[in-house]
Structure 1
Amino acid sequence: MDCIFCKIVKGDIPSNKIYEDDKVLAFHDISPEAPIHFLVIPKEHIKSANDINENNSHIISHIFLVINKLVRELNIAETGYRIVNNCGKDGGQTVDHIHFHVLGQRDLKWSPG
Structure 2
Amino acid sequence: MSEDFYCEEVLSGRTLVQKVIETDNVLAYYHTRPFYPVHIVAIPKKHISSLLTLEPSDNDLLLELIDVVKQVAAKVTAEHGACRVITNLGKYQDSKHLHWHVIYGEPLR
Q: Same fold (TM over 0.5)?
A: yes
Alignment correspondent of 1:61:
63
Higher relative contact order (CA 8 A, sep 6+): 2
Identity, % of aligned pairs? 27
CA contact (8 A) 2:72 2:102 kept: no
* Distance in structure 1 (CA, Å) of the matches to 2:4 and 2:51: 16
Aligned-CA RMSD value: 2.0
Aligned counterparts, 1:15-30, within 5 A? 15-30=17-32
Q: Which residue number in structure 2 is paired with residue 4 of structure 1?
A: 5
CA distance in 2, matches of 1:41, 1:30: 14
TM-score after normalising by structure 1: 0.78
21-30 or 65-74, which deviates more: 65-74
Q: Which blocks of at least 5 consecutive residues in structure 1 are unaligned? A: 109-113
Secondary structure of the residue that 1:55 maps to in structure 2? helix
Q: Could you give the per-residue CA deviations for residues 48-88 of structure 1, whole angstroms, max 9, x where no partner exists? A: 111112111222221121122223334x1482211111111
My pick for the range that moved more, 76-85 or 93-102, is 76-85
Q: How many residues align?
A: 103
Which structure: greater helix fraction?
Answer: 2
Q: Which stretch shows the higher mean deviation, 46-55 or 30-39?
A: 30-39
With over 3 angstroms needed to count, the CA separation of the structure-2 counterparts of 1:11 and 1:88, relative to structure 1, is same
Q: Which consecutive residues of structure 2, in runs of 5 or more, have no partner in the other structure? A: none
Q: Is the 8 A contact 2:83 2:103 kept in 1?
A: yes
Amino acid at match of 2:51: A
- Following superposition of structure 1 onto structure 2, how do residues 1-113 of structure 1 map, counting pairs within 5 Å? 3-7=4-8, 8-74=10-76, 76-77=77-78, 79-89=81-91, 92-104=92-104, 106=105
SS of equivalent to 1:30: coil
